[in-house]
Amino acid sequence: MKKKVSYFLSLSVAVSMLLSACNSDNSNDGKKETAKAKPQVLNLLGGAELPGLDSSTSTDAESFNVLGNIMEGLNVLGDGDVVKPGIAETTDKSADGLTYTFHLRDAKWSNGDPVTAADFVYAWKRAADPKVASEYAFMMNVLQNGEDVTTGKKPVDQLGVKAIDDKTLEVKLAKAIPYFDSLVTFPTFLPLNQKYVESQGKNYALEAGNMIFDGPFQMKEWKHDESYKLVKNDEYYDAASVKLKEVNFKIVKDPGTGVNLYETGAVDRAGLTAEYVDKYKNNPDYGTTKEPTVFFLRVNEEKNPALKNVNIRKALNEAFNREDITGTILNNGSVPLYGLAPSNFLDANGKDFREASGDLVKYDPADAKTLWAQGLKEIGKKDVTIELLGSDTDTNKKISEYLQGELTKNLPGLKINIKSVPFAQQLDLNSKKDYEVSFGGWGPDYKDPMTFFDMWTSKSPFNQMGFANAEYDNLITQAGGPLLLDPAKRTDAFLKAEKILVQDNAAILPIYQRALAYVMKPKVHGLIEHSFGSDFTYKYVEIK
């Protein structure tokens, strides 16, 4: 997410998009050559195994990208991330902004059942139920009684959502928020068919055959750790707009494999890592996309006693050169990150947030060495060993090795052990706080700066590192409540909170804001990329 990281995204640097080549044929009777219809099949490269496709509990960008194409919520994102009607054909909002009434269109699940308001009520209450233990349960805190429900203080039946009838959904908010229409595009707000979900029990969404779908595609095959296939959903209300017959994903962790497929003519789009950018950057098929997705190191202050010391953390933050990572290892348009929120993501005033906040960290090996010495003195040690956890993608391994060399060179007495594991395993270790320092990535979940900041509050399930600061919590609480209708003061609260998190406490160590470099054949039309939620929309793709 994801995003998209998200969405937030996995630590694979580029998701290569692979599309089938098409041929014309010659008639055997001597007539003029005619073009054969292009097969409407889209072949994509997935960066990691899907950890799961239960919209109530999914948290990763790979899963979100699939969910955004096999399911549909009240609203959807169009080109340029414009919010458009989805299952909700029309929406009414009360004058005070506290009540939304969604009027649903005629839509069906892939098994023929109608999509009803009760499907949304069930899904939202399920996500909010503490027994389900959804990491995104806090998303429901915007609803009336939401925080009391997600913390177990009130029963789920008191959550502010109800079905007036099959086609009318009434939602009451705890407070008016300016981005609610965008928020409901997020996967946690997708509908679920209660009868079907409960019939599957614990197996729901673990296999292709344990799901039903209300989006433009449905999952047909899922070979774990290898591939998965989406096919057009003929029951979808707007099936006439869907040109693709299949979307195939092949899980490949080595970016070079995708490039090799492109070079042999087997695919029409491939993501490029550093070693291929120079080769293709003058090719007319080459392109780059800068995303509001950030990558960082999260520091678990509870696992390694040395990391509780703020000077140790600050030393780590200043002891590596982010430009080396973006310019040499990535070389794809990604830029160094010196704070938490990305550039080209607007603050509440419509200004670039990164520009407003400025650089909160620096590369200063001399100062880092001084901070390190002070930290070692304060904890009474001459050396420290830290384990660095990351995914097993090729690029993440290269960044890990760079950090290992740079940090140990600049900080005498430091030893770093690298632990590379599959992405799903890394997510599991993060959630259990079973790591010391871990790579993290985050893409916006919705179109508001809050998506980058509420995850670091002391009660957030995404904190996952023991950081707790009362002033930070208060600033985020103010930004999410009393200051919602005062953009200038709200932005000031975010700026102060970012300084506390990154500069004063070095709770996270920013690394880079991602860009994607790729090559793509011009026959591919209609692919929509998103800054938050699902990475791509395949509904309008056509092979011409």
What distance in Å separates the CA atoms of residue 342 and residue 512, rounded to the nearest whole number? Answer: 9
- 292 CB neighbour count, 10 Å cutoff: 25
- Selected residue with higher pLDDT from 243 and 22: 243
Phi-psi region of 284 (alpha: psi -120 to 50; beta: other; left: phi over 0): alpha
pLDDT higher than 50, residue 119: yes
Cα–Cα distance measured from residue 285 to residue 334, given in angstroms and rounded to the nearest whole number: 19
- Is 140:128 a contact under the CB 8 Å cutoff? yes
Long-range contacts, 226-232 (Cβ 8 Å, 24+): 226/250, 226/251, 227/46, 227/251, 228/46, 228/50, 228/66, 230/66, 230/69, 230/70, 230/538
Give the rounded distance of the alpha carbon of 519 from its chain centre: 23
Are the CB atoms for 349 and 519 separated by under 8 Å? no
Nearest to 322 by CA among 447, 407, 200, 423: 407
- pLDDT given for residue 362 in this prediction: 96
Band (pLDDT 50/70/90 cuts) for residue 218 is very high
- Give 386's strand partners: 416
Q: What is the pLDDT of residue 180?
A: 95
CA distance 523 to 517: 18
- Calpha distance 264→269 (Å, rounded): 12
In this prediction, residue 348 carries a pLDDT of: 56
Answer yes or no: is pLDDT of 189 > 50: yes
Report CA-CA distances (Å) from 125 to 116, 155, 164: 15, 10, 16
Q: Which residues pair with 515 in a beta bridge?
A: 290
What is d(CA 510, CA 313) in angstroms, rounded to the nearest whole number? 12
Token code pair at residue 331:
């070389």
Q: How confident is the model at residue 116 (pLDDT cuts 50, 70, 90)?
A: very high
Residue 269 contacts residue 518 (beta carbons within 8 Å): yes
Question: Positive or negative, the Cα torsion across 459, 463, 469, 475?
Answer: negative
| Residue 329 burial (C-beta neighbours within 10 Å; 0-12, 13-18, 19+) | buried
Q: What end-to-end distance do the CA atoms of the chain give, in Å?
A: 30
How would residue 349 be classed by pLDDT, with cut points 50, 70 and 90? low
- What ranges in 49-128 are assigned the alpha helix state H? 61-70, 117-128
Identify the band that residue 27 occupies on the pLDDT scale cut at 50, 70 and 90. very low
For residues 84 and 535, what is the distance between their CA atoms, to the nearest angstrom? 16
Length of the chain (residues): 544
pLDDT at 26: 33
Torsion of CA 11, 409, 274, 5, to 10 degrees: 20
Specify burial of residue 493 (Cβ count, 10 A radius: 0-12, 13-18, 19+).
Answer: buried
Q: Which of 362, 376, 360, 361 is nearest to 411 (CA)?
A: 376
Query: Distance (Å, rounded) from C-alpha 142 to C-alpha 163?
Result: 18
Indicate the SS3 state at residue 216. coil
What tokens were used for 286?
């080459």
Report pLDDT for 35: 53
Secondary structure tally for the chain: helices H, strands E: 16, 24
Q: Does residue 58 register a pLDDT over 80? A: yes
**Residue 274, CB-side half-sphere exposure with 13 Å CA sphere:** 15
* Residue whose structure tokens are 């391994």: 397
pTM of the model: 0.79
The tokens of 161 are what? 């959502």
The answer on pLDDT for 439 being more than 90 is yes
pLDDT digits (tens, 9 = 90+) for 460-474: 988 999 899 999 999
Is the predicted pLDDT of residue 252 greater than 90, yes or no? no
Given the structure tokens 């996995």, which residue do they identify? 10
Percent of the chain surpassing pLDDT 70: 93
Kind and range of the H or E element at 13? none
Domains with residue ranges and CATH for the chain: 290-515 (3.10.105.10)
What mean pLDDT comes out for the span 506-526? 92
- The rounded distance, in Å, linking the Cα atoms of 215 and 244 is 13
Q: For 281-338, write each residue's pLDDT tens digit.
A: 999 999 999 889 999 999 999 999 999 999 999 999 999 999 999 999 999 999 999 9
Region for residue 527 given its phi and psi (left: phi exceeds 0; alpha: psi -120 to 50; beta: otherwise) = beta
Does 34 have pLDDT greater than 60? no
Residue by residue, DSSP assigns 83-101 as EEESSEEEEEE-TTS-EEE
Distance of alpha carbon 142 from alpha carbon 393, whole angstroms: 36
Bigger pLDDT: 194 or 352?
Answer: 194
**Sheet containing strand 99-104, strands side by side:** 88-93, 99-104, 168-172, 161-165
